[in-house]
Amino acid sequence: MTTITTRESAEDQGVGVKKSGGFTASAANYIDERTSISGAVKELGRKIFPDHWSFLLGEVALYSFVIILLSGSFLTFFFQASMAEVVYDGSFAPLKGIPMSAAMSSTMDISFDIRGGLLMRQVHHWAALLFVAAIGLHMLRIYFTGAFRKPRELNWVIGFILFILAMAEGFTGYSLPDDLLSGNGLRIIDGLIKGIPVVGTWFSFLLFGGEFPGTDIVGRLYSLHILLLPAIIVALIAMHLLFVVVHKHTQYPAAGHTNQNVVGYPVMPVYAAKAGGFFFIVFGVVMLIASLFTINPIWNYGPYDPSPVSAGTQPDWYIGFADGAMRLIPTGWEFVWLNHTYSLNILVVLIVVGLFIVTVMIYPFIEAWITGDKREHHVLDRPRNAPTRTAIGAAGVTFYASLWAAASSDIMATHFHLTMEGVIHTLQATTLLGPFLAFFIAKRVCLALQKKDREIVLHGYESGRIVRLPGGEFVEVHQPVDEYERWKLVSYSDFKPLMLRPNAQGKIGVAEKVRAGLSRWFFEDRITPVTQTELNRAHGDHPAEITDK
């Protein structure tokens, strides 16, 4: 007996938990003695996270995913993923007595017979739209600030896969109610798959369990939608966040921020309060939208039937770019050769869209190769300070936006009283030429902004005050920026194009030549940051009396 008592008290002293007698203290002690959680609290509890509105985009994505899980779990209790034909007998009078699949019928019941069911459906759908949108914006933020650079390239790839999976989740979910729109979406997928050479026909039969539409597809998509895809997404999100902890978050250039530190608020308590609170704000906003605005009114569309279709149908926004790409293909891109059909009108779309997204995925590696930059980067670039990257991004966004707009070509034509053909031809032009134009404009704008920054650093900003000098001359007073503000404008790296160097054998390889060429293209136009000498000289130019000190 005595030995046990001593050991217990020794243990208590060992972990340093004082017996204050409070419930919290003893509960914490209980848990720590079984989990050593105090170590995790020590490591993570005061971890610093920098603050910036653009860092919230990733949080919105994470939180909408949680909302999707919560609302989706509710829906699974009522939804029947079956294409068995039933006759609808629910509360929505216009569809009463109409044969439809159990999937459609149970979705109708969720909407019209279960209190709060419609609300949860709409929360689920709105949160899904927000999920993909937030990921997209988060990716743009990462891209334009150069946050994908070493050591975060792999996390970019993980995030990219999450983006693709989010779209897959969206599409599989969209297809589940088996209404007219979702069926037409699947019909398009079926047509796309059949257009793939050699395996397309068989693959379509495997997917649909026979001829389209069959009676299997909803059940199969359901497995993907609620089990396989979410499991992969959860695992990848865990990895994504783990990497954020390992790398520590990036920060914007600012006074006191260096590549060796991270400045911000500790997880406990400030970050927990702000980020935790932000979850509720995102949830609240989604809830508010879901209570005020209808989304996907399947009761207006009716059950799937291969024959009817309504004009002006639109896919969910994130599928738009792929759908739009299909519309932009000119007439006649299909041929028969050696008794087989080559559907270029489908293949070209698959290849071009595929290449585009693969380029997005591997961009960090391409840029690293071109720039030869092997350093770790924890301070973000202001987009203007990486003009070529920003211009490439602008070109990519223009390309994507053109495809995306094409998905609504008919709506644009009817809405603005344009011809269908005119809209398509215009968008074909913007898809092909727009990226080049966007590249040029974005690059010039970046360089102009950099020049403006230089001017502000060297000569201050225009104060709008006109002063008359003793000699009768009028000048505008330029207000100098303080050293903290100035640091934001000058703290970026300058680069020079890569030099062609022979390798150990004294040869210059083709790859090296390409690389040097790309490096020149990447860095030839650049504005160097202001140096101390330049600043001193500039200050000499301004007599003290007109800098308004």
Partner 1 sequence: MAKDDNGAEHVTAADSPGAQLATSAASTAVVTRDALVNPGFPPHRPRITDLDHKEERKAERTVYTLFYVSIVGSVFAIAAYMAFPIVAEDPGSVRLNNLFIGLGLSLALLAIGIGAVHWGKALMSDHEGVDERHPVRGTEPVRARAVEIFQQANEESGFGRRTLIRNSLIGALVVFPLPAVVLFRGLGPMDQDPVALLEETMWKKGVRLTIDPSGTPIKAADVTLGSSFHVIPEGLSEMGHGRLEEKAKAAVLLIRMDPKDLIEEEDRKSWSYDGIVAYSKICTHVGCPVALYEQHTHHLLCPCHQSQFDVENHCKVIFGPAKRALPQLPIAVDAEGYLIAQSDFTEPVGPSFWERA
- Subset of 176-195 contacting partner 1 (CB under 8 A): 184, 187-188, 190-192, 194-195
Residue 343 contacts partner 1 per CB under 8 A: yes
Is the separation of the CB atoms in 127 and 144 below 8 Å? no
For β-strands 48-49 and 335-337, DSSP reports them as unpaired
**Contacts of partner 1 in 143-182 (CB under 8 A):** 151
Residue 45 in contact with partner 1, rule: CB under 8 A:
no
Site residues for partner 1, 55-84, by CB under 8 A, read none
Tallying the residues shown for the chain, one arrives at: 549
**What kind and span of H or E run contains 466?**
strand 461-468
Note whether 459 and 478 are within 8 A (CB).
Answer: yes
430 binding partner 1? (CB under 8 A):
no
Q: What is the CA radius of gyration of the chain?
A: 30
CA distance 419 to 405: 15
CB-wise, 29 or 519, nearer to partner 1? Answer: 519
Near partner 1 in 94-123, by CB under 8 A: 111-116, 118-119, 122
Q: Closer to partner 1 at the Cβ: 126 or 163?
A: 126
Give the per-residue contact string, 456-485, with partner 1 (x = CB under 8 A; - = no). Answer: ---------------------------xx-
Q: Please, is 168 exposed, middle or buried when counting C-beta atoms within 10 Å of its C-beta (0-12, 13-18, 19+)?
A: middle
Q: Does 364 bind partner 1 (CB under 8 A)?
A: no
Please state, in angstroms and rounded to a whole number, the distance separating the CA atoms of residues 423 and 34: 67
Q: Residue count at the site for partner 1 (CB under 8 A)? A: 148
Lay out the site mask for partner 1 across 256-295 (x = CB under 8 A, - = otherwise). Answer: xxxxxxxxxxx--xxx-xx-xxxxxxxxxx-xx-xxx---
Say whether 74 sits in a helix, a strand or coil: helix
CB of 150 to partner 1, least distance (A): 8
Per-residue binder mask for partner 1 (CB under 8 A), 216-255, x = binder: x---x-------------------------xxx------x
Closest CA to 71 of 113, 110, 105, 101: 110
Residue 43 in contact with partner 1, rule: CB under 8 A: no
Using CB under 8 A, which residues numbered 478 to 537 contact partner 1? 483-484, 486-487, 490-491, 493-499, 501, 503-504, 509, 512, 519, 523, 528-533, 535
- Shortest distance, CB of residue 548 to partner 1, whole angstroms? 21
Min separation Cβ 69 and partner 1, Å: 16
Alpha carbon 24 to its chain centroid, in Å, reads: 41
**Least distance (Å) from partner 1 to the CB of residue 226?**
19
DSSP state letters, 345-400 = HHHHHHHHHHHHHHHHHHHHHHHHHHH---S---BPPPGGGSHHHHHHHHHHHHHH
